[in-house]
Amino acid sequence: MIGGLTLSLLATTASASLFLILTQNTGTAGMVVRGHTGGNGAFAKQVSPLPTFFVDEAVADTVFTPDDVRLVRVGQLVVDANGNGVITFVVPSLPRVRATGLSVGYCALIRRGLRVPHPRWWAAFLAADG
């Protein structure tokens, strides 16, 4: 988890869970973070790179598809021939989340035009968007 966000891997045909060991467990926007799967051979075989996302931990259990608007893609987990996965990503800048305190998921809905923020947040959004 980085800043209240959970790193999530979503496969389109199977469901499973695994954990990643990250070089940082907290970070600011722009920080490079590297990670790898725990142990040896987390996957039974080499698989295609897996899209990897941040999602607000409060809603992580309700996300089931990689096209969920509450996800923020950060990269992909690459699995080698020995079944070990590695990832390098840059912590994304989430200025609207920082400026308003609204959730990543809600800000994603606003960004995609699926929600309109309450007028009390308009000034903060304008300032965050530069």
Q: Is pLDDT above 60 for 91?
A: yes
Q: What is the pLDDT of residues 16-67, one digit of tens each?
A: 567 788 888 777 778 899 999 888 888 888 788 888 888 777 777 888 887 8
Show the domain range for 52: 1-93
Structural tokens at position 66: 């990689």
119 and 68 together in one domain: no
Mean pLDDT on 92-97: 74
C-alpha closest to that of 45 among 14, 73, 7: 14
pLDDT for 47: 81
Q: What is the value of pTM for the model shown?
A: 0.64
Sign of the CA dihedral running 30, 10, 7, 102: positive
C-alpha closest to that of 120 among 93, 92, 101, 103: 101
- Rounded to 5 degrees, what angle do the CA atoms 9, 94, 114 make? 80
Share in percent of the chain as helix, strand, coil (round to 5): 20, 30, 50
99 and 83 together in one domain: no
83 and 108 together in one domain: no
Going by pLDDT thresholds of 50, 70 and 90, the confidence category of residue 86 is very high
Number of domains the chain contains: 2
63 and 107 together in one domain: no
